[in-house]
Amino acid sequence: MVALTEEMKDLFKRTKIFPMATASKDGVPNVAPMATVRLVDDETIWIMDNYMVKTLANLQENPNTALYFYDPDTKRCFQVKGRCEVKTSGREYEQLRDEVKAKSDAYPAKSLVIIRVTGVFECTPGKDAGKRVL
């Protein structure tokens, strides 16, 4: 198992928008901005699907994803890779759905994407950029 460090978790919590990359089973890439993102524990990330179309279709064909988080002030950044599971019912889905709906009924809260972190890579410019750190 891969567990995010305290530095990574702090940077993650300060990030507002997370670019999420997916690919179809044929390798056609897609990147979409994600805003409702929760770090559940050291190795699990939840994302609420409010408006996913290509991203959701890709995850149904290919559960692998990459998520990027970045601090523009320090230029510190990481890429998290993981495998996804999509849920449309159950305790986890209902928990995040209720949280999202409490903010506004305008959000459809269609499904919950659960990412199990499989690797973390350095993205900060420099000699270690691109290296696996976890």
In tens, the pLDDT along 73-97 reads 889 999 999 999 999 999 999 999 9
| Half-sphere exposure of residue 122: CA atoms within 13 angstroms, side-chain side | 10
Q: Is the pTM above the cut of 0.75? A: yes
Say what the pLDDT of residue 2 is.
86
User: How high does pLDDT run on average in the chain?
Assistant: 96
Q: What is the pLDDT of residue 92?
A: 97
Indicate the domain borders of the chain.
Answer: 6-122
Task: Yes or no: say if 20 and 65 are a contact pair by the CB < 8 Å rule.
Answer: yes
CATH no., domain 6-122: 2.30.110.10
Question: Phi then psi for 104, rounded to 5 degrees?
Answer: -170, 135
Residue 113's pLDDT is: 98
- Dist CA 103 CA 98 (whole Å): 9
Residue 80's DSSP bridge partners are 67, 120
* Average pLDDT for 13-27: 96
* Whether residue 69 has pLDDT greater than 80: yes
30-48: average pLDDT: 97
